[in-house]
Chains A and B, each alone.
Chain A
Amino acid sequence: MSATAPPATDSLRLDRLGIGELESVDLAVEPGEILCLSGASGAGKSRLLRAVADLEPHRGEVWLGELAQSAVPGHRWRRRVMLVPAESHWWADGVGEHLADPGDRDLEALGFDREVLGWQVSRLSSGEKQRLALLRALCREPAALLLDEPTANLDDATARRVEAWLVERVRERGWPVIWVAHDRAQIGRVARRHLRIHGGGLVEEEQAAWT
């Protein structure tokens, strides 16, 4: 991960995005901003993220700065607007085959050292998988992040540590982030804006009460 690249300046905009029950979602996330998304399970949080990453057919358009989702091939869009799912999946046997040269600072922040690159995926715990999946995505230098419950499988102390690392990296790199979360305390810590999916649309939640 090169620390020298200038921070991103592109915002992420959803323009009348529609998928499933959700209709005409308009939303803008500024560079370096973390927007939290919550809602009852089955409300369509993950599907909304999948639509933004263009993994499912959907209505409307998504913009990254001046770049329209429909104007670039799927893989190039997803390389820039990267979705980290709630449950990660691994295709090769070794951890190292999935990670493109992570920095020592990031490994350390997540509680690993370089030895982890020689580990077998089959022996990872769910918490280790989750942390490595975040690292795996961030190593690929995206331009925007979509995080689906990034700390769900972690104990409280580790969750706080991962959360702090993520927030620091986002501020530093200037990524616009949509972060799906349940924990109101966490939402209060990481986000300035909090939207809840309710009845086929997004409702702004009062943030001040939670900070």
Chain B
Amino acid sequence: MDVIELSWWQLALAALMVVALAGCMAAARLGMSRSLLVAAARTVIQLALVGLVLEALFAAERLHWVALMALGMLLIAGREVMARQKRRLLGGWAFGIGTVAMFLSSFTVTVLTLTVIIGPEPWYRPQYAIPLLGMMLGNTMTGVALALDRLTETAWRQRAVIENRLMLGQRWKEAIGDIRREAMRSGLMPMINAMAAAGVVSLPGMMTGQILAGSPPALAVKYQILIMFTITLGTGFGTLAAVAAGSRRLFDGRERLRLDRLAVPK
């Protein structure tokens, strides 16, 4: 079974309805119509562009183009992790820790999944590699950003407690242990919730897409389970690395709490 072809005029019909919604909101003076239209326009432009990039990438099927695309995605994700933190580490550490953590976990798990589990020919075949990496990075990014934000924010609020523990002769790891656990929890919670609700509350997007594209549901389910697990692995190890490196950076070589290494929120 093939997917039913979708032409531009059919999309224009859906777009017209979005415009109608904006018109209704404007007429009722509810605001938001402008930002709704801007966001809708961004969706069209960004997705159309990425479509072109993917078409070119799929046609070329070269490792270095795939790697370049992956690198671009990683750097944008790293920037996003940094932007989502209220009190981020100064001196490039927020970007560095986030990016390295995502690189280590997402890339390793993606490459492992491609070579060992799925096994397309060649292993970097962009139809598999890019969507897989995209889902990994998107979720790992959320986990790492949440965990680092929680880590620095809680350390800031509880600095007196941490220092009091240091005064009593505790090691830095012990003094910040509770906060590290909390940060890990907030990084992993979204993924654990998603796995718990999968199929019962929500039909995961990738599975829905595959079914729409004509895959038998049983195969789509297998892929979805694989993706859920690999995303959990990526998020888990990424968060683990980011929390370990981030909390270490909060202390110096003399195990002093150094909150002067955090940015002051504007």
Contact = CB atoms under 8 A, between A and B. Distances in A.
Given A84-B167, A91-B178, A136-B168, A74 B160 contact: no
Chain A: interface size category: 20 to 34
Contact of B167 (A55, A57, A76, A90): A55
Main secondary structure, interface of A, reads loop
A10 interface: no
Nearest to A69: B254
Given A85-B164, A89-B160, A75 B255 contact: yes
Interface string A70-107: 00011110111011110111110000000000000000
A121 B172 CA distance: 23
B69 interface: no
A188 B172 CA distance: 38
A75 B161 CA distance: 15
A87 B159 CA distance: 13
Chain B: interface size category: 10 to 19
A83 B169 contact: no
Contacts of B169: 75-76, 78-80, 82, 140, 142
Contacts of A136: 168
A74 B175 CA distance: 13
B34 to A, nearest CB: 49
Interface string A35-57: 00000000000000000011111
B166 A55 contact: yes
A102 to B, nearest CB: 14
A140 B168 contact: yes
